[in-house]
Amino acid sequence: MSATAVGSPFPAAAAVAQRRRRAVQARCSSALAAPILDDLRLRCATPLHLLRHVADAMAADMRAGLAADGAAELKMIPSYVYSLPTGDETGLFYALDLGGTNFRVLRVQLGGKDRRVVDSESEQVSIPKEIMHGTTEELFDFIAARLSSFVATEGGNFRLQEGRKREIGFTFSFPVKQTSIDSGILIKWTKGFAVSGTAGKDVVACLNAAMERQGLDMRVSALVNDTVGTLAGAHYWDEDVMVAVILGTGTNACYIERSDSIPKLQHLGLVTGNTIINTEWGAFSDGLPLTEFDRDMDAESINPGEQIFEKTISGMYLGEIVRRVLAKMAQESDLFGHSFADKLAEPFVLRTPHLCAMQQDGSNDLGEVELILRDVIGVNRSSLAARRAIVEVSDCIVKRGGRLAGAGIAGILQKMESDSSGLVLGRRTAVAMDGGLYENYPQYRSYMTEAMAELLGPRDSAHVVVEHTKDGSGIGAALLAAANSKYVAKSSA
């Protein structure tokens, strides 16, 4: 008689029973998670009537913000850009793009209508942490030194016209109170910067002084934020571009406004022409469909009660909202069995690129979802039902974000249409888009354009074109430096 291993005398039957137990557990977990998912679907729903309310409220808030500072959630900040690039610009111009832990320097040689951008070069520089936490002079001297080194490599197709001083467009993506096209007072540092002595100072004057200390013969001729730079860069190639939107880690939108539609600037006597308005739409909140997960995340954020639209639609927050939903499901429904992955309790451990990868998973067993759960959240075993539920949760949050972004854009277009007596949507109108969320997340992109089409209707939406403008803010700043050069006659945007 042959010996047998200790265990069940019927190994095949035991395996079948174990599979059945797992299947039952998965169904039970899924059933317990279902009410949470159903409630999420209900609270994140964006039917047409809700989107219409959001678009109308956005337009109303824009008007209030244009009437007076502090009268609305949207700040509606004038850019003081009255001259957009036309294509006639010629010469060598520089740009500095400062908006995070890296900054970029760029130069462009412009050749007028026939040759447009003859050549361009750029370089990215990482800012050491001690500089980010140092003094104003230390930061701007560091930037000016790197800029000086970049200028020293000028050659080839890049030639400064005789008798001219170099001019630079400065993209500065921090809160400033802009007072002219080439001046702006820093309100406060964000994004991890804690530079002493800058708040309340003109950042253009700080940069000009640092360049002078470096012996660099250059002046700032345009101060812009990244959204304004994106619009200018896109408008250079396509004069139908009227709106620019950033949809990435953060979000913002700007558009071309008639000067006579800005009551708070009437004291300047701007009766004709156009300018670019920076909406700072991340602060909008009227009528947004929020959940307990949004409110909890907002309450624990560094700016509770602020930037609600941004927290609902931008790449920084989508993954975190999904994580909070999954944490509740895991606690209340044994979504991942009887254990709770500790990593699931870590804020921002799940990022928007993870959601995107899971939604792209077309395999029968959702293997990519399983890998992300294991590698990112520490869930070593998950049922197919659980993986499907996770994809559905992701879709709920991403669909809401994309459709609300679309409603915001439609609101801007409808406000422009109403104020222009039908001169915007009756012809081709382009919206320039930049940012990794729009570029890399196809579902989000589809939900956004779908909502725009629903709100604008078939006739008007047929005239609206969404154009992807990758990294447009840098070259846009250089083009605005050219359009606002002291060496050319000014014309209205």
Q: In 3D, which of 120, 433, 91, 85 has the Cα closest to residue 235?
A: 85
Q: Which residues pair with residue 467 across a beta bridge?
A: 432
97, 202, 226, 294: which is the annotated catalytic residue? Answer: 226
Burial environment of residue 403 by CB neighbours within 10 A (0 to 12, 13 to 18, 19 or more): buried
| Phi, psi angles (nearest 5°) of residue 281 | -70, -10
Side-chain-side CA neighbours of residue 37 (13 Å): 22
Radius of gyration of the chain (CA): 26
> If residue 483 lies in a helix (H) or strand (E), which one and from where to where?
helix 472-483
Q: Establish whether 226 is a catalytic residue.
A: yes
Q: Which residues pair with residue 251 across a beta bridge?
A: 247
Q: In whole angstroms, give the CA distance from residue 152 to residue 136.
A: 24
Distances (CA, A) of 303 to 297, 306, 307, 308, 310: 10, 6, 8, 10, 12
Return all residues near 306 (Cβ < 8 A) that are at least 6 apart: 283
Residue 492 CA, chain-centre distance (Å), reads 28
**Tokens 């291993």 belong to residue:** 5
Edge-to-edge strand list for the sheet holding 429-434: 77-78, 274-278, 251-258, 241-247, 429-434, 464-468
User: What is the DSSP code (8-state) at residue 187?
Assistant: -
- Provide DSSP, 97-120: EESSSEEEEEEEEEEHHHHSEEEE
Q: In whole angstroms, give the CA distance from residue 180 to residue 404.
A: 33
Q: Establish whether 113 is a catalytic residue.
A: no
Q: Where are the beta strands (DSSP E) in 388-480?
A: 429-434, 464-468
129, 191, 486, 490: which is the annotated catalytic residue? Answer: 191
Contact 253, 279 (CB under 8 A): yes
Burial environment of residue 258 by CB neighbours within 10 A (0 to 12, 13 to 18, 19 or more): middle
The count of other CB atoms within 10 Å of the CB of residue 59 is: 21
> If residue 223 lies in a helix (H) or strand (E), which one and from where to where?
strand 218-224
Catalytic residues: 191, 226
